[in-house]
């Protein structure tokens, strides 16, 4: 059983560009959460998707948006990239919004 | 305490030593406390989910305790091994709000 997978593993973009990160949840999981981990910080919650709807959102600007597909996979989109968006982006899945979250290995984004 | 705080930030121990570190979290609106182990270049791995005051959980040489009234949890590693080297994250769970993570404790076990 494959766990949570994310793609790509690394990405380099320039300021102002847009980026899409992808996540496939663990088999049987229907809820996907996205986190941003900046250097020296703990993971910060971006948003959570359940049944293709954004269920909760953290304190991130509208430049951060997402989507969940009928197969429960998810995308995180960031528009108008800033240098400060450079971070590790983690995806986590669970079998319900109050259940233990299982994390992917993350996508490391560098904005130049 | 408004945020989740972990101490120490980093720790170096010799192989065979026992060690422990702390997670402090808001005691109000408590639902659960999560511990994760995160090895370099891998995914964070769930270690424990703790919900009851006084709870103690164990997984091999690793154990954790929980005090919800004062808002802290301890993680203990007995007889540390090099493979225990990782960042240990805790996260506070209020039930209907997102997990709030600490910055982690980075453990290095020297052979």
B48 close to A (CB below 8 A): no
Residue of A40, A98, A103 lying closest to B95 (CB–CB): A98
Contacts of A29 (CB under 8 A, 6+ apart): A4, A72, A93, A94, A95, A102
The whole-angstrom separation of Cα A48 and Cα A17 is 24
- Dump pLDDT digits (tens) for B27-86: 888 999 999 999 999 999 999 999 999 999 999 999 999 999 999 999 999 999 999 999
A43 close to B (CB below 8 A): yes
Q: Which of B102, B107, B108 is nearest to B34 (CA)?
A: B102
State phi, psi for B103 to the nearest 5 degrees.
-85, -10
B46 vs A102: CB contact, 8 Å cut-off? yes
State phi, psi for B83 to the nearest 5 degrees.
-70, -10
B43 vs A101: CB contact, 8 Å cut-off? no
Q: Where are the beta strands (DSSP E) in B15-104?
A: 19-24, 32-38, 45-50, 56-59, 62-67, 72-77, 86-93, 100-101
- Dump pLDDT digits (tens) for A27-76: 999 999 999 999 999 999 999 999 999 999 999 999 999 999 999 999 99
């Amino acid at each position: 059983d494959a766990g949570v997978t994310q793609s790509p593993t690394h990405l380099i973009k320039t300021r102002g560009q847009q980026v899409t990160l992808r996540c496939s949840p663990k088999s049987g999981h229907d809820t996907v959460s996205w986190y941003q981990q900046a250097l020296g910080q703990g993971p910060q919650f971006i948003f959570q998707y359940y049944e293709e709807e954004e269920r909760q959102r953290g304190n991130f600007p509208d430049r951060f948006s997402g989507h969940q597909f009928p197969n429960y996979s998810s995308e995180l989109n960031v528009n108008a990239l800033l240098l400060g968006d450079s971070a590790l982006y983690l995806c986590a899945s669970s079998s319900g919004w109050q259940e233990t979250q299982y994390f992917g290995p993350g996508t490391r984004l560098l904005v130049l | 305490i408004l945020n989740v705080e972990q101490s120490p930030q980093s720790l170096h121990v010799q192989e065979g030593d026992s060690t422990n570190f702390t997670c402090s979290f808001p005691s109000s609106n408590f639902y659960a406390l999560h511990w994760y182990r995160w090895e370099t270049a891998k995914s964070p791995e769930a270690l424990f989910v703790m919900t009851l005051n006084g709870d103690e959980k164990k997984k091999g040489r690793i154990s954790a305790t929980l005090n919800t009234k004062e808002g802290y949890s301890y993680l203990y590693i007995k007889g540390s091994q090099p493979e225990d080297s990782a960042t240990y994250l805790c996260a506070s769970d209020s039930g209907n709000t997102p997990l709030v993570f600490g910055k982690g404790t980075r453990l290095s076990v020297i052979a």
